[in-house]
Amino acid sequence: MFKVTLEDEFKKNPELKAEDIEDVKAWLKSQPHLPPVPDLVIVLFLQACQWDLDLTKKTIDIYYTCRTEYTEFFADRDPLSQEIQDIAKTHHVVYLPQRDPEGNQIIVTRTVDPDIKNYNFAALVKYYTMSTEAFQLENGTVPGIVMVCDVDNFKASHFWCVPFKQAKNNMRYSQEAASFHIKAVHHINIHPLIHKMLQILKPLLKAEVIELIKMHSSIETLFQSVPKEIMPKDYGGEAPTMEELNELNLQRIQKYQQYFKDEQKVVVDESKRISKKAKQSEDPEEEKGWWLLKKLSFK
């Protein structure tokens, strides 16, 4: 299914070693609860973990465990479904055609429709993760991912309606199971809500992730990190519009309908797990604190 080969990855990544791939494969054989993992997927995780073998193994385990447990995000992933068609109309997920000078892939997201009735957080996570996988199938590894999040139409009501469990599950998956290396997360068109939202999310964010978050009151400061010319025309750049690029992204994931159908069977079998699973915290007081902080923050 990959459009790239192992040979391509060795050429792109001088740090990639055949013995590291074999090491991970040997470890996988000792983990009967995990599904088969292709060599190119192992390479994605090695690069995402910056060639740290122990972290790679831990991340692979969490990745497949999350995808098995978080059915709200990883079940029924049909790119031709009405759910995905609807979320793609209200939220754009765009992969810029040109990368930054360091070779990083820029992903631009934005809420198009501010109407809360059309906001489906689980579907949005589903659309984003499907987009990431389709991109990696076609491109393999990239030096890093730079996120640009346009929050102009993101309102307090959007934040209020996200169930705590979904927010927590998404945070864990994003921070502990990513198959790519995130370099920065830029927020543009910020307003006071975004600062409040970050304060609420901080307990769920790792310190190293918080350091990656950049806030821009003016888009001009974004251009100090992301060249203006590679941005969509909507932001004064030379790339196609957000709507055009979002449509291309939607078409790309639709090409992989069978892949997403097959991928739903690639799950963890907990009955075969040898080592004890690191459980996610289920402290009810944590959820109470989440809602209390939200109420206090939006008064």
**In the structure encoding, which two tokens stand for residue 256, read together?**
């992989």
User: pLDDT per residue over 140-182, tens digit each?
Assistant: 999 999 999 999 998 878 888 889 899 999 999 999 999 999 9
Contact status, residue 151 vs residue 191, Cβ threshold 8 Å: yes
Give the domain CATH number at 262. 3.40.525.10
Residue 287 domain flag: no
Residue 297 domain flag: no
Q: Which helix (H) or strand (E) holds 185?
A: strand 182-188
Residue 246 domain flag: yes
- Count of domains forming the chain: 1
Residue 121 domain flag: yes
Would you give the DSSP letter of residue 2? Answer: -
Per the listing, tokens 């076609």 go with: 138
Per the listing, tokens 């494969």 go with: 25
User: pLDDT per residue over 222-253, tens digit each?
Assistant: 999 999 999 999 999 999 999 999 999 999 99
pTM of the entire predicted model:
0.91
Residue 286 domain flag: no
Pairwise CA distance, residues 205 & 208, whole Å: 8
Among candidate residues 15, 23, 24, the one with its CA nearest the CA of residue 51? 15
**How many alpha carbons fall within 13 Å on the CB side of residue 260?**
24
Contact status, residue 98 vs residue 239, Cβ threshold 8 Å: yes
Question: Going residue by residue through the chain (299 aa), what tens digit of pLDDT does each one get?
Answer: 899 999 999 999 999 999 999 999 999 999 999 999 999 999 999 999 999 999 999 999 999 999 999 999 999 999 999 999 999 999 999 999 999 999 999 999 999 999 999 999 999 999 999 999 999 999 999 999 999 999 999 887 888 888 989 999 999 999 999 999 999 999 999 888 777 777 777 777 899 999 999 999 889 999 999 999 999 999 999 999 999 999 999 999 999 999 999 999 999 999 999 987 655 555 565 655 555 555 555 55
Domain that holds residue 84: 1-272
Per the listing, tokens 């799950």 go with: 267
Residue 138 domain flag: yes
Residue 29 domain flag: yes
Residue 199 domain flag: yes
